[in-house]
With several copies, the nearest count.
Chain A
Amino acid sequence: MVQGITEPLGSIYAPLMQVYGGQILAGISPGHGGQQLEGIPVFDLVEQALLSVGVVDTSVIFVPPYQVLDAALEAIAAGIRQLVLVTEGVPPMDMMHLCRVAEASETLVVGPNCPGIIVPGQILLGTHPAEFYTPGTVGLVSRCGTLTYEVARELSQAGFGQSIALGIGSDRIIGSTFQQWLQILDEDEQTEAIVLVGKIGSDSEEVAARYIIEAIDKPVVAYIAGRTLPQSQYTGHAGAVVSSQIAGLGDEIGTAESKIAALKQAKVPIAERPSQLPDLLKQVLKSSTKTSAKS
Chain B
Amino acid sequence: MDLLEYQAKQLFHEMGIPVLPSQQINHPQDLKGLKIPYPVVLKSQVYTGGRGKAGGIRFVENTIDAVAAAQTIFNLPITGMYPAVLLAEAKYDADRELYLAVILDWSARRPLLLGSQRGGVDVEATIGAMQQVVVDQEFSPFYARRLALKMGLQGELIRSVSAILEKMYQLFLQKDLDLVEINPLAVSSAGELMALDGKITANDDALGRHSDLATLQEKIPHQIKTKMLPRDLADTTLVELEGNIGILCNGAGLTMTTLDLVYKAGGRPASFLNLGSEYRHNNSPEVLRERIQRGLELMMQSKNLKVVLVNTLGNVMLCRQTAEAIATHLQHQAGSRVVPFVVRLVGDQFDEARQMLRTLNLPLFHNLDEAIAEAISLSK
Contacts and interface: CB of A to CB of B under 8 A. Distances in A.
Nearest to A32: B155
Given A30-B145, A170-B234, A88 B251 contact: no
Nearest to A47: B146
Interface stretch (A147-155, A184-192, A261-269, A286-294): A147-155
Contacts of B367: 275
Interface residues of A, number: 90
A96 B109 contact: yes
The listed residue with most A CB atoms (<10 A of its CB), out of B138, B277, B314, is: B277
Contact of A77 (B137, B199, B257): B137
Interface in A70-84: 70-71, 73-74, 77
Interface stretch (B176-184, B217-225, B320-328): B176-184
Given A8-B282, A242-B114, A275-B368, A150 B104 contact: no
Contact of A48 (B2, B107, B149, B181): B149
Interface string A207-220: 10000000000000
Nearest to B249: A146
B101 A239 contact: yes
Interface stretch (B16-24, B65-73, B205-213, B354-362): B205-213
A196 to B, nearest CB: 13
B236 interface: no
Contacts of B105: 243, 247
Contact of B209 (A16, A66, A153): A66
Contact of A199 (B256, B277, B347): B256
A162 interface: no
Interface in B145-169: 145-146, 149, 154-159, 162
22 contacts: A13-B315, A31-B159, A44-B149, A64-B281, A70-B140, A73-B137, A88-B276, A89-B205, A91-B203, A127-B279, A127-B315, A129-B313, A129-B347, A146-B251, A146-B278, A146-B313, A170-B251, A225-B253, A225-B254, A229-B259, A237-B201, A243-B103
Given A12-B316, A147-B257, 19 more contacts: A33-B154, A45-B142, A65-B208, A66-B208, A69-B140, A77-B140, A96-B110, A112-B279, A114-B279, A128-B315, A129-B347, A144-B253, A145-B254, A145-B278, A147-B254, A202-B106, A229-B259, A237-B179, A242-B114
> 8 tightest A-B contacts by CB?
A144-B253, A147-B253, A146-B251, A74-B142, A239-B179, A91-B206, A226-B256, A225-B256
Interface of A: 7-9, 12-13, 16, 30-31, 33, 44-48, 62-67, 69-71, 73-74, 77, 86-93, 95-96, 99-101, 112-115, 127-129, 131-132, 142-150, 153, 170, 172-173, 197, 199-200, 202-204, 207, 223, 225-229, 232-234, 237-240, 242-243, 245-247, 272-275
